[in-house]
């Protein structure tokens, strides 16, 4: 999968300097976490990387090619699952394939092949209102995968879940990521979540936003819901918390 780079990104919103100069990169198959105070521009940064918004200055590169302003090259999963309430699970997750021009019947057959991997087998004819929060997020992630299997932008995908469900989703997500090997950018406000899932963490400042801290995670992600006991965990967590001024 391609490396993703955002270089020298600057953006004013409504006359307010939001992103002053952001430089981040994610290696092939890696997961980079993005943390920062509310309103600092994390989602704006993702909109720029996704090609939904152009920066005032700077560029986005995928696999070494400049793609600034080009949409459709990365999948963007927001905190809200955005499932359409009048469509069942299978039709909801098939939407990206239909939008790409695939006939609806073929799109449903293609999506159906992935239901088991995403823990949705047997729920294909359920509607969003009949699903738990965790199941809705599984459906949203499958839709993200079907939109673009290579680059995933995940904007606080588990923020609305309770602690037990979130922990289960972490374990499941690691298995999915190991299977599909995407390049991932992951927004979270949860430091422990970032340390559990990510290979690298960027901490953003208050507006006008710059990268306040970039830290490589010096221990391996656990493949089960085990507590991280590596002695490096505490110092890295403290450094991130200090950068967040918590």
Which of 112, 147, 182 terminates a domain? The answer is 147
Domain identity same for 91 and 212 = no
pTM, 2 dp: 0.90
Which of 97, 126, 147 terminates a domain? The answer is 147
Q: What is the mean pLDDT of the chain?
A: 91
Domain identity same for 96 and 216 = no
Are 98 and 104 in contact by the 8 Å Cβ rule? The answer is yes
Taking residues 160-168, report their average pLDDT.
87
Taking residues 31-36, report their average pLDDT.
96
Domain identity same for 64 and 157 = yes
Q: Which tens digit of pLDDT belongs to each residue from 114-163?
A: 999 898 999 999 999 999 988 998 999 999 889 876 899 999 998 888 88
CA distances from 114 to 28, 29, 118, 180, 235 (A): 23, 20, 6, 11, 39
If you write DSSP's letter for every residue of 47-109 in order, what string do you get? Answer: HHHTTSS--SEEEEEETTEE-TT--SSSEEE-SS----TTS-HHHHHHHHHHHTT--HHHHHH
Domain identity same for 169 and 216 = yes
pLDDT band per the 50, 70, 90 thresholds, residue 69: very high
Higher-confidence residue of 91 and 14: namely 91
Domain identity same for 28 and 57 = yes
pLDDT of residue 8: 97
Continuous segment of H or E residues that includes residue 194: helix 191-197
Q: Which tens digit of pLDDT belongs to each residue from 174-230?
A: 888 888 899 999 999 999 999 999 999 999 999 999 999 999 999 887 766 677 888
Domain identity same for 184 and 130 = no
Q: How many separate domains does the chain show?
A: 2
Domain identity same for 159 and 207 = yes
The closest alpha carbon to 41, from 58, 64, 61, 66, belongs to: 58
């Amino acid at each position: 999968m391609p490396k993703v780079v955002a270089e020298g990104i600057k953006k004013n919103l409504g006359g307010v300097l939001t992103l002053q100069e952001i430089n981040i990169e994610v290696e092939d198959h890696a997961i980079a976490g993005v943390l920062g105070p509310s309103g600092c521009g994390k989602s704006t940064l993702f909109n720029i990387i996704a090609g939904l918004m152009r920066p005032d200055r700077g560029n986005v590169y995928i696999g070494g090619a400049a793609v600034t302003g080009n949409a459709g090259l990365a999948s963007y999963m927001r905190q809200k699952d955005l499932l359409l309430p009048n469509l069942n699970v299978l039709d909801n997750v098939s939407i990206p394939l239909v939008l790409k021009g695939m006939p609806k019947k073929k799109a449903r057959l293609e999506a159906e092949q992935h239901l088991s991997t995403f823990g949705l087998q047997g729920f294909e004819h359920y509607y969003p209102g009949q699903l738990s929060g965790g199941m809705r997020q599984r459906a949203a992630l499958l839709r993200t995968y079907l939109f673009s299997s290579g680059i995933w932008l995940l904007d606080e995908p588990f923020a609305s879940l309770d602690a037990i469900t979130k922990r289960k989703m972490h374990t499941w997500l690691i298995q999915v990521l190991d299977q599909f090997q995407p390049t991932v950018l992951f927004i979270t406000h949860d430091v422990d979540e970032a340390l559990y899932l990510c290979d690298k963490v960027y901490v953003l400042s208050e507006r006008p936003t710059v990268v306040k801290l970039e830290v490589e995670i010096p221990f391996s992600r656990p493949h089960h819901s085990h507590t991280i006991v590596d002695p490096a965990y505490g110092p890295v967590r403290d450094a991130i918390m200090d950068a967040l001024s918590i």
